[in-house]
Structure 1
Amino acid sequence: MAKIHLKIDDPNHTFIIAEAGSNWKSGSYEEDLEQAKKLIKIASKAGADAVKFQTYKADTVYAYNAGNSNYLAEQGINKEINEIFEYLSMPYEMISELSQICNDEKIIFMSTPFSVEDAKQIDPFVSLHKIASFEINHVRLIEFLSKTEKPILISTGASTFDEIDFAVNLIKNNKNNEIGLLQCTSKYPAPIESLNLSAIPKMKERYNIPIGFSDHSVEPLIGPLTAVGLGATIIEKHFT
């Protein structure tokens, strides 16, 4: 397992996470794996510290009758959200293969879980965990990840300080103090004016832990460079 700049609080290094999301999906299992391998190689060649995927099952993310997504409908996708997520869900058996490819390419493998079962599947293959914005109050998931004794990064999109306080304290109460927070705007894509990067120094002062930025904007540099200038030491950027 790659060990390159694993410490997320290194003041002399900005920890870069290349977010692949669900864009490894191409067709058959073999085609999906080949596409994921290409993304991993691109992220490694670009110098990222880690490449991150997402691990979920449709029935643990949305209710069975969730219906269509207005956001996706705007993109011309009119299928029910459950059907879309079922198609995009990563087979658990792919996790070990992606981890090995990352090891070969000297880049850290990450994948965001959305349930405790997802977390159990990825935990043997990751060096640190990531909690998505909308899971910030998922108590069972946070407790499980805390007990792995691995560093945990939390995105904070659409969260209040009370909700962030709750998640941070829950992790610390489970005797895990390796925590990082990522300022995030939960809009896809996020307009530059919505990034709220002024929250970064406020979060640094409030929590005294590593603070970063999860960027959903289409601009490649404006958000990340500004965030680093404001004290961010972790940058997560979608590159697909």
Structure 2
Amino acid sequence: MKIIAEIGTSHGGDIEKAKKLIDCAVESGADYVKFQWVYADEILHPDTGFVNLPTGKIPLYERFKELEVEPAFFEECLRYTHEKGAKFTCSPFGPRSLEELLSIHPDAVKIASPELNHIPLLKDLAGYRKKNDIPVIISSGVSHLGDIEEALSILGREKITLLHCITSYPAPEEEYNLKVIPSLSAIFGIPCGVSDHSLDPVLVPSIAASLGASMIEKHITLSKETDGLDDPVALTGEQFALMSHCIRQCQAAFRQYGENAKGYILKQLEDEYGERIQKILGDGVKKLAPAEEANYGRTNRSLHFMRAMKAGEVINVEDISVLRTEKVLSVGLHPRFLDDVIGSRLTRDVQNGDGVQWKQLL
């Protein structure tokens, strides 16, 4: 069982802070440290809306622009991670970040939940995997079974780890439905774990470990009071170390008791947490959690116009992007239809940022 410390963008572009986070992750028991290779243009439209931060209300696109760093930043993070004895993984968000990430030879590529349906990104990664044997980790928050199946049909199933996830910050523990971990593993024939956005350092990771999770991912921060986008839901080093200890204790129980360890672990947790454990276990059926239902379509990728266009114009490749809709824009067509949209003629005027719809196309 592998533990991933998700640093994400909490380094704020400061390489010394990034190294402190790597130190913290490794000292707290992480096998992998994970970053996010951000280019705002690959994620959001400039008019996507605003985000509330302690410093005030600012455009979400501008917040992502602030998180952009040079490739040399991640190359140094990779080198330092290896020096500390851990593995390096990172999430790309589009073709440019994927190409640059692959050029530094990470130990694995992580596809985040909103990019599970980024078909062009997945195809680019699949093309690379035909010649280069690189592991891939994919999160499955805010998705249906069909979304996972489509992603795997592109990426293949060799050296793939699937992480069950709830795309909500924070995610309610009682909605995690962790019995879905063995269900997904059986359905797709690949190792499955969890990417946990809940606040408790023990509950979800320990239950997931009892169910045979192959990998557990959780955000880490130097302080919950800093201004990283995910810092409020991240674990401090002390909390992360507690989580790692609990996971390793679960592993030790399996070594000692075999399959009987599952009941032993769950009984201990029920003695401490009561009926919450059964709620967190759920029914094992893959479905959207209540906390993320409203995000489906908006957090995932869809097709958006990148300029205002007039009826009768022909859509060229540079007129469309595969983006998260997020705050205020209309949701567009699924990215699988990108090739069908390119070359179509508009039946009506469209605004910059609009989601692409069939009724707009001839």
Residue 127 of structure 1 corresponds to 107
Residue 129 (structure 1) shift: 0.8
Contact 1:54 1:90 in 2 (8 A): no
AA paired with 2:155? I
Residue 84 (structure 1) shift: 0.6
Residue 160 of structure 2 corresponds to 179
Residue 196 (structure 1) shift: 2.2
- Root mean square deviation, CA, Å: 1.5
Offset from partner CA, 1:50-70 (integer Å, 9 cap, x none): 10010011111101211213x
User: Match of 1:101, SS?
Assistant: helix
Residue 47 (structure 1) shift: 2.3
Contact 2:37 2:97 in 1 (8 A): yes
TM alignment of 1:12-51, pairs within 5 A: 14-25=1-12, 32-51=14-33
AA paired with 2:74? I
Residue 39 of structure 2 corresponds to 57
Residue 76 (structure 1) shift: 6.6
Residue 230 (structure 1) shift: 1.4
Whether 2:217 is the aligned partner of 1:233: answer no
User: Match of 2:16, SS?
Assistant: helix
Residue 17 (structure 1) shift: 0.5
Aligned length: 216
134, 150, 158: which one pairs with 2:134?
150
Residue 95 (structure 1) shift: 1.1
AA paired with 2:3? I
Offset from partner CA, 1:125-149 (integer Å, 9 cap, x none): 3011110101011112112222233
Whether 2:116 is the aligned partner of 1:136: answer yes
Residue 189 (structure 1) shift: 1.1
159, 162, 170: which one pairs with 2:146?
162
AA paired with 1:238? H
User: Match of 2:198, SS?
Assistant: coil
Whether 2:191 is the aligned partner of 1:204: answer no
Contact 1:200 1:211 in 2 (8 A): yes
User: Match of 1:53, SS?
Assistant: strand
Using a 3 Å threshold, how does the CA distance of structure 1 residues 183 and 125 change in structure 2: closer, same or farther? same
Give me the identity figure in percent: 36
Contact 2:33 2:88 in 1 (8 A): yes
Whether 2:83 is the aligned partner of 1:104: answer yes
Find the aligned partners of 2:142 and 2:49 in 1 and give their Cα distance: 22
Contact 1:95 1:125 in 2 (8 A): no
AA paired with 1:115? G
Find the aligned partners of 2:180 and 2:54 in 1 and give their Cα distance: 30
User: Match of 1:197, SS?
Assistant: coil
Residue 97 of structure 2 corresponds to 118
Contact 1:185 1:196 in 2 (8 A): no
Contact 1:96 1:125 in 2 (8 A): no
Contact 1:56 1:113 in 2 (8 A): yes
Residue 74 (structure 1) shift: 7.6
AA paired with 1:46? S
User: Match of 1:125, SS?
Assistant: coil
AA paired with 1:55? W
AA paired with 1:20? I
Contact 2:90 2:108 in 1 (8 A): no
Find the aligned partners of 1:212 and 1:67 in 2 and give their Cα distance: 33
Offset from partner CA, 1:185-218 (integer Å, 9 cap, x none): 0001111112221211210110111001001111
Task: Decide which moves more: 91-100 or 110-119.
Answer: 91-100
Find the aligned partners of 1:16 and 1:139 in 2 and give their Cα distance: 28
AA paired with 1:237? K
Find the aligned partners of 1:59 and 1:108 in 2 and give their Cα distance: 28
Find the aligned partners of 2:4 and 2:202 in 1 and give their Cα distance: 14
Contact 2:166 2:197 in 1 (8 A): yes
195, 215, 221: which one pairs with 2:176?
195
Deviation >3 Å, runs of 4+? 74-77
User: Match of 2:65, SS?
Assistant: helix
Task: Decide which moves more: 194-203 or 101-110.
Answer: 194-203
User: Match of 1:218, SS?
Assistant: coil
AA paired with 2:135? P
Q: TM-score scaled by structure 1?
A: 0.86
AA paired with 1:210? P
User: Match of 2:50, SS?
Assistant: coil
